[in-house]
Homo-oligomer: A and B are copies of this chain.
Amino acid sequence: MTRVTVWNEYRQERESAEIAAVYPQGIHGAIADGLRDAGFDARTATLDEPEHGLTDDVLAATDVLTWWGHAAHDQVDDAIVERVRRRVLDGMGLIVLHSGHHSKLFRALMGTSGDLKWREAGERERIWVVDPSHPIADGLGESFALEQEEMYGEPFDVPAPDRLVLVSWFQGGEVFRSGCCFLRGRGRIFYFRPGHETHPTYFQPMVRRVIANAVRWAAQPRGDRPTFGNQQPLEPLGGG
């Protein structure tokens, strides 16, 4: 059974009654519930736990990590970011959600700023499948709508995704590459846009389906670790 660790900053839910009303068990609670319903072994970890809940043991027992952070990106310890980054490059899947675009972890893996446009106006978002044969698109139909979401707009400062699966339309006139696959080292990374803390997005069935599909995709087995460093020749060098 695929083992997922659902990481959440978990600050705003404790500080804001409005957000707590939307996510009484925290954003991580809602995401983990959705993953359990989809048949995954989902655990949670949060910023204020020791080592942010991301010890070597936890990471070693994690096939796919999901990441939600927003207001406290700078309080994530650099050494733990580096630990997680190395684990991704070694093959752990990673699903970066919404405002995680500005997390240290995502920026370290992308090499770019992760910058984008945004607007908190509770407007309608339509998410379109542009690559219907990708496994993350399975069962989504052609598009689905979220009645109220924060807007994110282009340009999105990331490398060109290795595969672009979803593109969003916003009521206010913007578009956004909302579902992007990146391959880094032996790791599969999926960025998925929706999930503002004031909207019940992570209870929405299609959003849950995307996350479950993405976890399944990111957890696929991969080959052996490659060998690096000094090598003996395979062919004779003498002849030259």
Contacts and interface: CB of A to CB of B under 8 A. Distances in A.
Contact of A119 (B108, B182, B186, B232): B232
A79 B183 CA distance: 28
A200 interface: no
Interface in A134-154: 134-135, 137-143, 145, 147, 151, 153-154
A129 B164 CA distance: 16
Given A112-B89, A113-B89, A155-B131, A126 B234 contact: yes
B117 A231 contact: yes
Contacts of A234: 126, 143, 145, 172-174
B132 A155 contact: yes
Contact of A160 (B139, B141, B153, B162): B162
Contacts of A162: 159-160, 163
Top 8 closest pairs, chain A to chain B, by CB: A172-B233, A173-B234, A133-B222, A173-B235, A115-B228, A109-B111, A133-B186, A132-B223
